[in-house]
A and B are shown apart, each in its own frame.
Chain A
Amino acid sequence: MSAVGELTQLVSNRNKGGAKEKHPDNKVGLAFMAPWLLGLLGITLIPMVASFALAFTDYSLLAAPEFVGLENIRRMIADTRLHNSLVVTFIYVFVGTPLQLIVALLLAVLLNQGMKGLSFYRSIFYLPSLLGGSVAIAILWRQMFGASGLVNQVAGMFGFHDLPGWVSNPDTALGTIILLHVWTFGSPMIIFLAGLRQIPEMYYEAASVDGASKAAQFFRITIPLLTPIIFFNVVLQVINAFQSFTQAFVVSGGTGGPSDSTMFYTLYLYQKGFTQFDMGYASAMAWLLLIIVAIFTAINFFVSKFWVFYDD
């Protein structure tokens, strides 16, 4: 049960005037939860309400907000740069997430073979995931994929000269950010590893006795039994990918890349709110993002009925 669910049950138990022995425990429980509750209220809930109110105003940050009704929504419908940023974000999510999960799964299967130095390899493969969201790595990435960056220099050693600057060309800039995202496959990989461990050996033994090949075992046993884990990773990674900001901001230098090719939705939101003195519009954009993420999560859950296989 979720924390919020437990909390409501705790409170309603008290109201029912139930078993008196529970009271002291409730107090301690609530005391422990107090920091988290305050954070939920102050950092999440109240700002969300404020943001919803601001979405219907014209707020320049420098002067008080002015109510403008649905004007921001009308502007969003007509804003071609916003539509472009949605396209860029969708490409990032729907190309980047499957790629990342496939790499994570393949590596998890590889690491599951059991080998010498397994914990070492596991840590090494997890490392990019820790660093990947950081500004420092994004800056390095931008240097590496520049016109005279490391990647082109290495390619030059193999005889490929005059390669384009990957980060500064509108056709390939988004690709470098997707690559950075795929590189941070560590956390889904660890979860896949855990899931692989849960598959009982007896299925594989029975299959080999029946003469099934490794590939058949993979597709007929591993994948179906892993579907709950795959589903979990898909939902989580899609939600995260929609909210990506740091990589796009740093790799494009805050501009949204050559010709808006890396203008993620969140980056456009940031520009609108903080550099163009249009915080009301940015708040409306934030709520649109929430609606989009909610829709895709709902779609994920709905479609999961058709492909996720639960043992029980």
Chain B
Amino acid sequence: MTTRRTALALGLAAGGLSALAACGPNAPSGGGGAEDAESLRLAWWGNPVRDEGIRKAAADYQEESGVSIAPEPSDWGGYWDKLATQVASGEAPDIIQMDEKYLSEYGGRDVLLDLETAGLDVSGFEDRVVATGEMSGKGLLAICGGINTPVLLANPDVFAQAGLDIPDDSTWTWDDLLDVATRVSEATDDGTYGVAQLGLIQNVFQVYMRQLGKDQYTADGVGFDAEDATEFFTFGHELQESGAAPDAERAVEEIGQSLDQTLFGTGRCAIGTAWSNQVVAFDAALDGRSRMLRLPSMSGRAADVGLWYKSGLYYSVSARSKDPEAAVAFVDWFVNSPEAGRHLMVERGVPGNIGVREEISADLGDSDRKAVEFIDAIKDEIHDPPALTPQGGGQFEDILNRAGQDMLFGAIGPADAGTALYDEISSATVS
């Protein structure tokens, strides 16, 4: 009797275990990392447009070289948590899409390969663009995957609703922006505003600091002081008080929203902030109607705006990759070949390789063209790029948001917000 029962129990257990195996992460139908020795893992964050482009490029590379690329896409929010955990468990992807915010964190801890010694061909890039991926003492840890710069986008339809013209962006000042945005808010319905709440936006903060003769970071750490931050927050406060920007709650709801869900993306804001390559995504939501503008300056002269060529994203290779040569070969193809460039156009930014940029210029869509022309138009106004974000600096946006929100909800004044911002980022970046 016992033997029959035992046999029955073991049989059920075996059946149960195999059923469990079928729904596990290594299930045959599930997908995930390929076990093929010849394949490389490529991780990126993005959006559906970028996902499709990269998959097509990977398929092309597989045809050409026989090396297959296993895709691991994510959205921005979850990407970094996942990457940190993957590195900790020794399972980092071979090719990693990298951002300037975290380059020091990963690069400073020897997670990334030096691409220059590994033989990556950077001859098609301008030196200053290549330099954005270098870390002193560590070499070239990441190669630019696309150039962008902070911009403002204007919605001509909302301006038309308000009966106003879009201002001339080569001569306007911060006060002009405040003025026109206030008038747009007043002249349009409730729920439509003149400008997004700039006081919570990191790239506007950085431009503002550069116009004050400082910067967000220098080689020694934090590059601004509490008074500079207070000046910036005072401007944000005025935007809210005058009605030019949405009220505190709506401004908070904008944070972390996908682009097509923001006030600007749904046509309820005349001026929104963006990186230049995001015009493609915004135009998809706005039927291609947006116009790209420079940020204002303090003096009214375009050359004083302080813009720079930022690498919107980079590609790095994991230092512990099982096949670093193959990974570097793929990155080389990915950033230097016109075929790869054609699949992604300027969605990640204007290609860093000048040859690729020229090759794709004939096929640019309207939105892509706006980004490329803007990058080209400001080339004589470009200043030096800022210092790399130091370790701990990845929290800057959170700190800026918290201090800014406390101020917008009236809990503290701009001066206290400026001090809080300076104190917190200083202690976060102390190494």
List residues of A whose CB falls within 8 A of some B CB: 24, 28, 31-32, 60-63, 146-148, 164-165, 167-170, 253-255, 258-260, 274-277, 279
Contact = CB atoms under 8 A, between A and B. Distances in A.
A148 B85 contact: no
Interface in B97-113: 105-106, 109-111
A28 B6 contact: yes
Contacts of A258: 248-249, 252, 405, 409
B391 to A, nearest CB: 8
Contacts of B392: 276
Contact of B111 (A62, A147, A274): A62
B304 interface: no
A187 to B, nearest CB: 25
Interface of B: 2, 5-6, 9, 77, 80-81, 84-85, 87-88, 105-106, 109-111, 191, 248-250, 252-253, 255-256, 391-392, 394-395, 398, 401-402, 405-406, 409, 411
Contact of A61 (B5, B6, B9, B85): B85
The 9 tightest CB contacts between A and B, nearest first, are A165-B249, A168-B252, A168-B249, A61-B88, A253-B256, A274-B81, A62-B109, A63-B109, A61-B84
A254 B256 contact: yes
A62 B255 contact: no
A253 B397 CA distance: 14
A276 B427 CA distance: 13
With most chain A CB atoms within 10 A of its CB, the pick from B84, B110, B191 is B84
B109 A60 contact: yes
Contact of A170 (B106, B255, B395, B405): B405
Contacts of B252: 165, 168-169, 258
Contacts, number: 81
With most chain A CB atoms within 10 A of its CB, the pick from B9, B81, B106 is B81
A24 B5 CA distance: 12
Contacts of B2: 24, 28
B214 to A, nearest CB: 25
Given A62-B105, A62-B106, A170-B405, A255 B398 contact: yes
Contact of B81 (A168, A260, A275): A275
A259 to B, nearest CB: 5
Nearest to A24: B2
A60 B409 CA distance: 34
Contacts of B402: 259-260
Contacts of B250: 147, 165, 168
A104 B268 CA distance: 43
Contacts of A276: 392, 394-395
Given A165-B249, A168-B249, A254 B77 contact: yes
Contacts of B85: 61, 274
